[in-house]
Amino acid sequence: MNDLPFWKTKTLAEMTAAEWESLCDGCGLCCLNKIEEWDSGDIYFTSVSCKLLDRQSCRCSSYENRWDFVPDCVQLTKENVPEIAWLPPTCGYRLINEGRDLYWWHPLVSGDPETVHAAGISARGRTISETEIDIEDLEDYVVDWPLTVGEAKDVKEA
């Protein structure tokens, strides 16, 4: 009998819907507004979160109905994960797609949804809602921490 967890034995395409959903670590980083330079295609994260992001839990406050409120919300799918360059380096979907393992703080590994926050990986305590700013000022909120959260010396792969 195989005692390895599903993310070590299955590709993204082979996962059930429940397995797929459980790969989300609840960091909230994908729910940050991003700016794309039209000429270069470069993408910059901001510390401005989607209006639906619960900034304490780092989960969508209306996940099932999010498109009713945010029509351009990007749904991660088994088909598009390889194409989304802005997925944070710590993202479970990105890691599995790249043939890597989940980090120790991922809830599937730790058994605790709070470890992603305790490890300093999530957006908790770092964001402002898009409803609280003038969207014309979005450039003033560009940050690099969503791309560097996994670089801390105490964040190791399992």
Q: What is the secondary structure of 84-120 as a DSSP string? A: -TTS-TT-HHHHHHTT-PPBTTSHHHHS-TTHHHHTT
Of 13-22, 60-69, 80-89, 137-146, the least confident: 60-69
Work out the mean pLDDT of the chain and round it to a whole number: 91
1 in any annotated domain = no
What is the band of 142 on the pLDDT scale with cuts at 50, 70, 90?
very high
42 in any annotated domain = yes
36 in any annotated domain = yes
3 in any annotated domain = no
69 in any annotated domain = yes
51 in any annotated domain = yes
Query: Are the CB atoms for 144 and 86 separated by under 8 Å?
Result: no
At position 83, the amino acid (one-letter code) is E
Average the pLDDT over 42-52 and give the result: 95
CA distances from 26 to 13, 30, 32, 66, 152 (A): 21, 10, 13, 16, 19
6 in any annotated domain = no
**Count of structural domains within the chain:** 1
Domain of residue 31 covers: 12-151
**pTM score, two decimals?**
0.88
Average the pLDDT over 43-63 and give the result: 94
